[in-house]
Structure 1
């Protein structure tokens, strides 16, 4: 075949293959255009899940009549004029491909009224032909109607799913827009009926209401508020405490400069932050807003603009990880009844209610020995009897004392659970899971405080890798040495490992090096050594903690509760299981039908 110029209509259809996959792709592009036009209200109307009709109406600035036809040409846009503009894009769209691509695979009607025009005008596109503008009865703003999607490409239309499936995709993308732009009203109509409405939210109460409408009451009740700033980077939004987790990653929303994206660096940072507080196979939930100077992020890396590239990915990763890690660390037992929309409200000290003095046989482990299990550097309270130990701790019946978050111990149930009373009602604590977290955090603190000690191998281990990985290892040799991995390069594609972290001396050294280099190649950093060490410390903590069916006296139980309140991430054990649950008085009253 000879080289020839493709006709414009075929070029548009090829571009549509990248931009328009299904009805939700059309909705996404048109809503982004509406937001870039300054719309304060966007209405999306569908018929048959969008397969028959998609209509997007906004109240933005509109398009002048002289530019209507130009808006339907490829690479025609008002959003960038030079390379400098492209490197600092702050609009949702910028390529000028959406409208002509959509028009090449559907019947498109465009109507708009600019503030300077006396009335609205409309044009139609059929098979690549744009009609002359005609007067139209539309208030200020723009309306785009897309009918019979893929009518001229039947092979692609066959790939569309059932009406309900296509509608659910549109519902999901509009939810993302609603979470990304609280200042705009979004309405979704399907087959002539309003099915979702997100009113503009300009205060905390209305924002909480929109968050609840988009993600449900349960997410809102478990949400921890985030507000962090480091240099030019900012992070806001909400992350759900670990006990609210999902079987799928369907409650994860990341916005970079207002754009909803998927990013592997951010995803890795989130996984690291939740590493030892989330049950295996479960996924965290979050709505995060990352602010980055536009010049430091490239949004032109994916046809559908769903991915970005950071100029300094490591700084972004570290910032996300440290911010989430700190939020989760602060969400342990100092947290109590969930507060809708803004995080977890700390329990307020309250005047204790009168109750009988707790009593339980002191036939268990001495309090000093319990404390020594996880505080070996500090001497435990000097006591030999239940009465002496209890006398050093506040009692619920002391009117001047404040009730701590986990309250005061009442009893032990089947040697497994501690029952305690706090200001809200009853707290049930899994004593082994709680003690495991306390022990684990203590071991981690000691390990991190002392640094990573290395052990020299009697017989160096030869590690065979690719030449690129060997170059990467040499480049990061100093950083790897800080984590206890000391090696020499033995050849173009091999390393000779001479020292390893002492704590991991029995581990698969060659496999560890390969995993670390894989992380470096993908993320620019690696926490693999720390992860391996933490797994070992977690096992040590599990075996070193108070076992189930161990009878503790009241003083021992109270000592455990107080240490939980001082320990980061104590709301969950190392394996992600919750360590305690709160039953407030209202819940207990419902169980016994009180007040009915």
Structure 2
């Protein structure tokens, strides 16, 4: 057996670097965390060749004197903790005390730092773990760290790095995460001399999202805030109907630290059930504030993963908070805000007056404002235009002195009533039905633009909430007897699931009697389901139970089977008339969640007028 020896500090640091420094983005993470812990208000990041050849992080934090700078490059040297119990309440980002020496052992490492109290800075140069020099230098207060030729001293590690594009993508994403977590800090990111983004300090994460992720993502999110005891959840969540094919835009922070957490991720996905389609994911940027003593951030060497002491409590809080936000966002939209009056200016005296809607005038005898144009001296206009005779003889001929004839103002009883949905000639409707040009597509005009609605999806949502309301009703235990009992035969798996769920199903109104081994007889069904679909509903219920591996959750399975049942309605097989479409849209806008169907797919979307104006390059 070989002789046991103590490894040198250089080898020990390189081994530690294998855990702490996996790739350039790990270096960036450690350096940015140190800058934030130093109280930096400005952080500038620069890299080249995906961070393999050069990476720089510069801040205006408190800086270090020469002794502290040298001590920071020793293993297990840190200012963040003093005793082992401090690990139970870590309130800083970097606390391991091995990041800097590990990075310096596998790169060409230069650190320049200066505290505010000193007139000179300190420069320390280390190459592959060997000290080259330590000298004074001139620089502004703060710290500047340059890491170049990463893994040159350990080429075996370097060959496992990905392409420059891949490594650069990780660096940019990490920089954006920390910029998002700290909107009060100015971040600048430079790649190969090109500024990727420069985000000055701002008030809220929403402003930072708009600056670094773009307006598209920012406009698809809505703010949320919830608090319960020592837990607080805030941030931005996707609007109803917004979804993504990957989890890339599900970003979570715990005490301002970007983390990967299954607890948070699964809670958010479950809260968005029926709000996004199955297999798609909601955009979400959430910040969880929690007592550091009840969260373990020391599970993973690079601190990517965390662990909660009371995992069910955190999961339940996030699930309920996000679900309450989604339900509030999908609240009935029947309470339309009254439209602001459209005004215009009189040409004669510049007074601001309400603009008269021509469609509103059509309700009162097809009357219009009549211009009594006087012949002008222009030779091209030899005869005046004929007057439009639209005013009835029995109405007074009123004039405002400028040869304009107008009708008297209608009385209060004649004011146009406001409705949610109407036909194209209804001036009081918020949505005016235009046409059903193709299949299930219905088009409405609104004050803001044009709405495209999927008729069948709207029907499914209306029908689903009708069934859901009936199911919640206290009288839902009442059953309706079938004229002829339906025989049912099940295999062993479905029979076992049915036996476990039988008591709950009977409480819901299903009358099932055992009729031999693996045979049952359905003699009655709840009033909220049509008898002809009761058997199909039970088969759906058992199929969902089978898909979930036999873990019986009756309430959840009943709801999922209800979602499937709305697709089997005979009414959805025929085309809808115009009146049925308007009635359906009216009922949809009174639903609790009018934005998505029971499967989470969008029901309607609005194209604002400004989009048409952008396309036409002119005002409409």
- By the TM > 0.5 criterion, same fold? yes
1:100 Cα deviation (Å)? 1.1
1:173 Cα deviation (Å)? 0.5
Matched, 1:576 2:600: yes
Q: TM-score w.r.t. structure 2 length?
A: 0.73
Judge conservation of contact 1:230–1:319 (CA < 8 Å) in 2: yes
1:450 Cα deviation (Å)? 5.8
Judge conservation of contact 2:424–2:433 (CA < 8 Å) in 1: no
Q: How does 1:219-234 map to 2 (within 5 A)?
A: 219-234=217-232
Structure 2 gap segments, 5+ residues each: 343-356, 364-416, 478-487, 495-499, 508-524, 527-536
**Greater CA radius of gyration, 1 or 2?**
2
Judge conservation of contact 1:113–1:140 (CA < 8 Å) in 2: yes
Judge conservation of contact 1:56–1:143 (CA < 8 Å) in 2: yes
* Aligned CA-pair RMSD: 4.0
Match of 1:93 in 2: 94
Q: How does 1:359-378 map to 2 (within 5 A)?
A: none
Match of 1:371 in 2: none
State the distance in 1 between where 2:617 and 2:437 align. Answer: 24
Q: How does 1:89-128 map to 2 (within 5 A)?
A: 89-128=90-129
Match of 2:267 in 1: 269
SS of residue matched to 1:87: helix
Change in Cα spacing, 1:275 to 1:397, as seen in structure 2 (3 Å) is: closer
Q: How does 1:508-587 map to 2 (within 5 A)?
A: 511=546, 514=549, 516=551, 529-544=554-569, 546-547=571-572, 549-554=574-579, 556-587=580-611
State the distance in 2 between where 1:279 and 1:248 align. Answer: 12
Match of 1:380 in 2: none
Q: How does 1:4-19 map to 2 (within 5 A)?
A: 4-19=5-20
Structure 1 gap segments, 5+ residues each: 337-344, 359-390, 464-476, 486-500, 518-527
Q: How does 1:488-499 map to 2 (within 5 A)?
A: none
Judge conservation of contact 1:416–1:549 (CA < 8 Å) in 2: no
State the distance in 1 between where 2:544 and 2:435 align. Answer: 47
Counterpart pick for 2:296 among 298, 301, 304: 298
Change in Cα spacing, 1:150 to 1:448, as seen in structure 2 (3 Å) is: farther
Of stretches 557-566 and 22-31 in structure 1, the one that deviates more from structure 2 is 557-566
Aligned residue pairs total 513
SS of residue matched to 1:133: strand
SS of residue matched to 2:89: coil
Between the two structures, name the one with larger relative contact order (CA 8 Å, sep ≥ 6).
1
Counterpart pick for 1:235 among 233, 236, 255: 233
Q: How does 1:326-475 map to 2 (within 5 A)?
A: 326-332=324-330, 349-350=339-340, 355=359, 404=430, 407-414=431-438, 416-448=440-472
Judge conservation of contact 2:126–2:133 (CA < 8 Å) in 1: no
1:242 Cα deviation (Å)? 4.4
Change in Cα spacing, 1:132 to 1:273, as seen in structure 2 (3 Å) is: same
State the distance in 1 between where 2:141 and 2:596 align. Answer: 54
Q: TM-score w.r.t. structure 1 length?
A: 0.76
1:581 Cα deviation (Å)? 1.7
1:30 Cα deviation (Å)? 0.3
State the distance in 1 between where 2:442 and 2:11 align. Answer: 71
Of stretches 24-33 and 239-248 in structure 1, the one that deviates more from structure 2 is 239-248
Match of 1:71 in 2: 72
SS of residue matched to 1:243: coil
SS of residue matched to 2:551: helix
State the distance in 2 between where 1:509 and 1:595 align. Answer: 53
